Amino acid sequence: MVQYELLKNNNDMAKETILKFDHGITYTHITDKFDGPNDVYGQKISYPLTANLNVTHDCNLECDYCIRQGARLQSPTSERMVTFLGNLPVGRPFRLTTTGGEPFVRKDIYEVIDFASRQPWAIGIISNGTIPVKFEKIPENTRFEFSIDAIDPSTYHEQRGGSEKQYQQIIKNIKEAKSKGFIVRTNVMLSRNNMDPAYIRRLINGFADMNIDQVRLQKFVIPRGAQIDDDLLKKYGLTDEEYSSISEVARNVGRERNIGVLVPQQNKQLSLGSVRIYPDGSVAVQSEDKPDQEIIGNIGSESLESCWSRVGENVSEMHLRYLIKPKRII
Ligand code: SF4
């Protein structure tokens, strides 16, 4: 039996604080609490407040734009996952988003989530939604991000190669998550399959009908180390003008239907303001002024705090700036 019981801790006030960050809706009263770029709620920030953890690169889908095209790493064993978790900011405010690959292909994913839920952490799960989720094992306040680029099975198939059954399973998971009170965001990879204004309107309206809290439109970015052929680039490599006109259509529907629409970020491989932890434990950051991500350490052998001690001031300053941007969800 793997020691997921390893470290128990709780700190309700810290948890409440980070959940407010996570839900992100009312930021102003939180930003008031910052005394400066290195201080939040009077605590020195010596580690990143938010991280995306790739719990595996395995997946039951084969999307042609997948990040795994760059480097498909072996999944960490449960023992190694325990080491990773113990090297995160245990007992301190933090937001952990588990992603993949597909997190629910891991047999121990509910144990990973259970460990996280006993920390003062906000928890997010990014999933392709095609595997039935045992919602009764997921702590309340967890934020789900389901990756679904379409509002009909045939466009879904075009885009992700998934079957109608898989599409219906995502819809089922989304509806169940909403009915149980979870926060749900949908992530939509934009391409020539789904960029038509009429389709975008239908897509956002369809999500609004399901009471989804937020939609994030995503830009295709060439995965680290991947060789991308011209056909793929033609399909996903939309121009800036195309992105901004799609975003405008989506935002307008979002305003009408009261659903948040986040538009594509800058052309970066990683989310600015967060760190990415790969299945081999390596920790990557990206700064605004550099095209490539930078590996700052490995949580297989040291704490995230120790990794973070190597980032330059520009990265730590950017991290907080992105976190506290009004109305932004971290
Ligand atoms: S669902 Fe996500 S991880 Fe799986 S193949 Fe598609 S993009 Fe890759």
All domains of the chain in start order, with CATH: 17-188+266-328 (3.20.20.70)
The pLDDT value given to residue 59: 95
Q: Distance, CA 263 to ligand 1 centroid (Å)?
A: 20
Distance, CA of 21 to CA of 91 (rounded, Å): 17
Choice from 53, 68, 224 to test ligand 1 binding pocket (greatest atom count within 8 A of CB): 68
Q: Which token pair is 85?
A: 């978790």
CA dihedral 236, 240, 244, 245 (to 10 degrees): -70
Q: Which token pair is 71?
A: 């480097």
* Burial (0-12, 13-18, 19+ Cβ within 10 Å), 279: buried
Distance, CA of 18 to CA of 330 (rounded, Å): 10
Q: Distance, CA 158 to ligand 1 centroid (Å)?
A: 14
CA 76 to chain centre: 19
Ligand 1 pocket member 61 (CB < 6 A): yes
Q: Distance, CA 309 to ligand 1 centroid (Å)?
A: 32
Ligand 1 pocket member 131 (CB < 6 A): no
The pLDDT value given to residue 69: 62
The pLDDT value given to residue 225: 67
Query: Which positions of the chain have pLDDT values less than 70?
Result: 1-45, 67-70, 223-226, 265-269, 320-330
Q: Distance, CA 66 to ligand 1 centroid (Å)?
A: 5
Question: What is the reported pTM?
Answer: 0.86
Which value, in Å, is the radius of gyration of the alpha carbons in the chain? 19
